[in-house]
Amino acid sequence: MAGKIVNNYGSLPVVFVSGNGATLTDDKGKRYIDFVAGIGVNCLGHGHPALVRAVQTQAAKALHVSNYYNSDKGLAFADALLEASGMERVYFGNSGAEANEAAIKLARKYGWLATEAVKKARGAAGVPARNEVVTLENSFHGRTLAALAATGQDTFHPPCFAPYPAGFRAIPANDFAALEAAFDETTCALMLECVQGEGGVNLLDARWAQAAAAAARKAGALVIADEVQTGIGRTGYLFASEELGIEPDVITASKGIAGGIPMGACLFRGAARDAFAAGDHQSTFAGNPLAAAAGLAVFAELSKPGFLAHVKAAGERIRSEIAGWRLDMIRDIRGKGLMLGIDFSVDSGANKGVDAAAIQRKCLDAGLCISTAGTHTLRFLPPLVITDAEIDAGLKTLKTVLQSVQ
Ligand SMILES: *Cc1c(COP(=O)(O)O)cnc(C)c1O
């Protein structure tokens, strides 16, 4: 059915043609409640008037001008993001993997500068290079080779793509003992995914994240928060790292940042601020005025009073409704804001390991788009503007499907 598009995604057999809010319509006119939002991308839902207007207006003015120059929208979006996040510089890219690639290069450059400074002070002999990036087991950082190397899941490292870039090591999350020997003078960064999305919607313990950030900093390393999925508003905070209290030196964002136009951002400050010099890292399309105009429109909506409170309340509505079903197959409901997972893991006694992908497929047939994270977790990433009525309609379908497989 996917025709000649590369068969990489295992796409489901549906062809969407339009959407409105948290509802999608396929080529046969069938309607679906959308709890996926393009993997957390369509944060304002489909057809949001302010976003549509911003994109249409900008398309008529200037789509792209190249980073040889500045654009008014690029400058304005940079200012808005930096002011809201307390960061000092931004590198725009086009995707999450590219935002992380920029963060990794920034950390390497920072480490290299630090190593050179030590060599100068002490003499070159015996000074180890500060170039290792410490990440977390079960993390996901993207599909370029460096982002895969950073990803702490062996399933993402098949031998067919070897060799992977060196200089990455994963430690277990929420394990205080693992911090004792985690960082030294060879560490250039600790890279944390604030809520592990692809890995199963796993939460970081804030006390552990703070201890990890402090230990990394003490060893002279940067702290990078990968907020490609949690970023802008998804968890009910502008950035999930705010709630964790880790004050990152570098934040990466992408998915929802421009509401559906490809855009990524690597934000940084402090010790990381001046590491990049002209020519160190570039991309042709990065931060073009169309993407920046879309980003500004998303940001304006997100900044309205009550927006983030709605995200939190909508997430609570989903959790409490599902908890009320008291289905044995559900072992856990976890997440933050509108980034939630239902866990059907094998060890829940009554349940012998319900396959999340099979449920996803049944939901689709019944008119609900929902995604998975790993084998046994169903993942919710609905539009941040989803209404109570849309939530209730989607959950009604989900409940029927779950009861049918129970
Ligand atoms: C999706 C995701 C990425 C990769 O983003 P792409 O836009 O697919 O390259 C990286 N990190 C996290 C946490 C993600 O969720």
pLDDT of residue 348: 47
Interval 65-91 mean pLDDT: 96
Ligand 1 midpoint to CA 93 (Å)? 12
The residue with tokens 């009554």 is: 350
Express each pLDDT in 279-318 by its tens digit.
999 999 999 999 999 999 999 999 999 999 999 999 999 9
What is the number of the ligand 1 atom nearest to the C-alpha of 39? 1
Indicate where the chain has its CATH 3.40.640.10 domain(s): 55-302
**How high is the pLDDT of residue 144?**
97
**Portions of the chain given CATH number 3.90.1150.10:** 16-34+307-405
Which atom of ligand 1 is found nearest the CA of 97?
9
Cα 9 to middle of ligand 1, angstroms: 15
Q: Is the pLDDT of residue 393 over 70?
A: yes
pLDDT digits (tens, 9 = 90+) for 140-191: 999 999 999 999 999 999 999 999 999 999 999 999 999 999 999 999 999 9
Q: How far is the CA of 103 from the centre of ligand 1 (A)?
A: 13
Instruction: From the CA of 139, give the closest atom in ligand 1.
Output: 13
368-369: strand order across its sheet: 16-20, 23-26, 31-34, 368-369
Architecture of the CATH domain 16-34+307-405: Alpha-Beta Complex (3.90)
Ligand 1, atom 5, residue with closest C-alpha: 96
Residue 105 alpha carbon to ligand 1 centre in Å? 17
* Structure-block tokens of residue 4: 């000649």
pLDDT at 398: 98
* 83 C-alpha to ligand 1 centroid (Å): 24
- Residues in contact with ligand 1 by the CB-under-6-Å rule are 95-97, 100, 140-142, 193, 197-198, 226, 228-229, 254-255
Q: What is the pLDDT of residues 256-276, one digit of tens each?
A: 999 999 999 999 999 999 999
pTM assigned to the model: 0.96
351-385: pLDDT as tens digits: 566 889 999 999 999 999 999 998 899 999 999 99
Q: Which H or E element spans position 273?
A: none
Output the DSSP codes for 126-191. T-----EEEEEBT----SSHHHHHH-B-GGG--GGGPPPPS-EEEE-TT-SGGGTTT--TTEEEEE
* Mutational test site, ligand 1, from 141, 145, 336, max ligand atoms within 8 Å of CB: 141
pLDDT-derived band at 11 (thresholds 50, 70, 90) equals confident
Please give the CATH number for the structural domain made up of 55-302.
Answer: 3.40.640.10
Which of the four pLDDT bands, split at 50, 70 and 90, describes residue 56?
very high
